[in-house]
Amino acid sequence: MSNGRLTPVSGIVLGLVKRDGPCTPYDIKAAVERSVGAMWPFPHSQIYSEAARLAREGLLSEEIEEKGRRRKIYRITQSGSSALRRWLSEPDDHPAQVRSLGILKLFFGAFASTEDILRLAQLQEKAHKERLATARGIEARIQGREDLRFQLLVLRAGIRFDEAQARLWSDLKDGSR
Amino acid sequence: MSNGRLTPVSGIVLGLVKRDGPCTPYDIKAAVERSVGAMWPFPHSQIYSEAARLAREGLLSEEIEEKGRRRKIYRITQSGSSALRRWLSEPDDHPAQVRSLGILKLFFGAFASTEDILRLAQLQEKAHKERLATARGIEARIQGREDLRFQLLVLRAGIRFDEAQARLWSDLKDGSR
DNA sequence: GGGTACATGTAATCAGTTACATGATTTA
DNA sequence: TAAATCATGTAACTGATTACATGTACCC
């Protein structure tokens, strides 16, 4: 907004442009998918509006390609960098939320049929195992890279989470026999 | 919405009214706090608008107290019950999201100062340990209750999650010495 | 009877989603 | 050159948040 506060999505966009250098919206979209997309997904349309907003506030600079498709290229500005640093330094005492429609529905499992629960468990286990597979692939690629130390930490936390989730749904299936 | 689909918050409100019987908005608010509030928080104002919406669509019935403060009392209707069942039976193949500003900022830790990270770790560890304490209290109260079997499952998943998070932040503090 | 916590709501705003639309590149 | 995929955006809508406002009950 026109005041100084950054939303989580602002932080993500700003942070990724800072990390990756000059970016088109599409580059940002791809970077989101490869990084925080699993924990904080949002539609690509928001990248366009968010980047435009950040540019309006002077946190990103916007350059338009001369030739070809005249895409917009964003760079982080001085004031963008300090806004990012300020955002990162704001303390957060709210614990993490686990947003899962699956778990929400499991909570109300008493009102659902056993078949529905089992199907849910099936799908959820599969989804978490798939995400695990890609995360482990990324882990193999980036481990040891000291410059990506924090990204690796977050990735590994996600891996442990997906393992726990996959186990939860798998146990649920076994338990109902 | 005027079409039939339920948002997560619709499902929560409908499910809790189904579970607890006739409710005022405040009762619902309290029930959310004691149940899914940790994983799917939302402001109390939304309960008023959501319940009104569900009543407009005939999924809840709305009665106004005759005496005293003329509060609204909601009950689930036949069609509310079947909408809930339908919602529960819709398959969900999207894996859970971990929405945490703390982890998000940790991801960009390379652009923050060590002190900021340590303070963040401190606050996050504390927040998760507090939530753990209340969750364990609830666990002690409801374990063994066969009618709350699913709620207990979800609660325990949450406990394991908070343990993992507390450990993550605690390790981070140790690791940086 | 005055303060404090509990309880109930409304209004305005905005972030985020959905749906649509189309241009540019690659590949078969 | 047609199809498919990659890339780029806009418009409309609405769920969700913030901020405000006030009423009621209890307790000191």
Which among B115, B154, B165 is the top mutation candidate for probing chain A, defined by the most A β-carbons within 10 Å of its own β-carbon? B154
Q: Are A150 and B109 in contact (CB under 8 A)?
A: yes
Per-residue pLDDT in tens (0 to 9) along chain A, 177 residues: 456 789 999 999 999 999 999 999 999 999 999 999 999 999 999 999 999 999 999 999 998 876 666 788 999 999 999 999 999 999 999 999 999 999 999 999 999 999 999 999 999 999 999 999 999 999 999 999 999 999 999 999 999 999 999 999 999 998 776
Residue B116 reports pLDDT greater than 50 = yes
Q: What is the mean pLDDT of residues B131-145?
A: 93
**CA to C1' distance (Å), from A26 to D9:** 11
Q: What percent of chain B has pLDDT over 90?
A: 88
What pLDDT does B5 receive? 84
Q: Within chain A, how many helices (H) and strands (E) appear?
A: 7, 3
Q: Do A164 and B165 touch (CB under 8 A)?
A: no
Query: The tokens of A3 are what?
Result: 């005041």
For the stretch B4-37, pLDDT in tens is: 789 999 999 999 999 999 999 999 999 999 999 9
For an interface test with A, give the residue of B14, B34, B82, B103 to mutate (most A CBs within 10 A): B103
Q: What integer best gives the mean pLDDT of chain B?
A: 93
Cβ pairs A/B, distance under 8 A = 216
What SS3 state is found at B79? helix
Amino acid B89: pLDDT: 96
- Yes or no: say if A119 and B91 are a contact pair by the CB < 8 Å rule: yes
User: Using the beta-carbon criterion (under 8 Å), do A36 and B107 form an inter-chain contact?
Assistant: yes
Would the pLDDT of B177 be above 90? no
pLDDT tens string B56-73: 999 999 988 766 667 889
Beta bridge partners of B74: B23, B62
Contacts of A101 in chain B (CB under 8 A): 8, 92, 94
DSSP 8-state symbol, B95: P
